[in-house]
Amino acid sequence: MTQRLHLVFGGELIDPTRNVFKNVDDLHIVGIFPNYASAYDAWKNEAQRTVDNAHMRYFIAHLHKLRDEESAASPTEELG
């Protein structure tokens, strides 16, 4: 069964109308989650926690979309 991993992260934006971080060294990595539902719950928690800061934004990255599932995996991609 293929896993659909999701990364939740966020940080302060330079301008709230653009998705450009003020300092990528200060990004908050919330975690990697095994499905969208748990990633959404984590995202929502962090977004609500920082609601008073208009420049703070949290995102969900669909890690499973970053690789081509149809191509052969390299030895470091498929361990086991």
Which tokens belong to 72?
């052969």
Cα four-point dihedral sign 55, 56, 57, 63: positive
Task: Compute the average pLDDT of residues 11-37.
Answer: 95
Write down the pLDDT at residue 64. Answer: 78
Write down the pLDDT at residue 3. Answer: 77
* Strand, coil or helix: 46: helix
Write down the pLDDT at residue 68. Answer: 61
pLDDT in tens, 30-80: 999 999 999 999 999 999 999 999 999 999 999 878 766 566 665 555 544
- Residues in contact with 3: Cβ distance below 8 Å, sequence separation at least 6, in sequence order: 34, 64
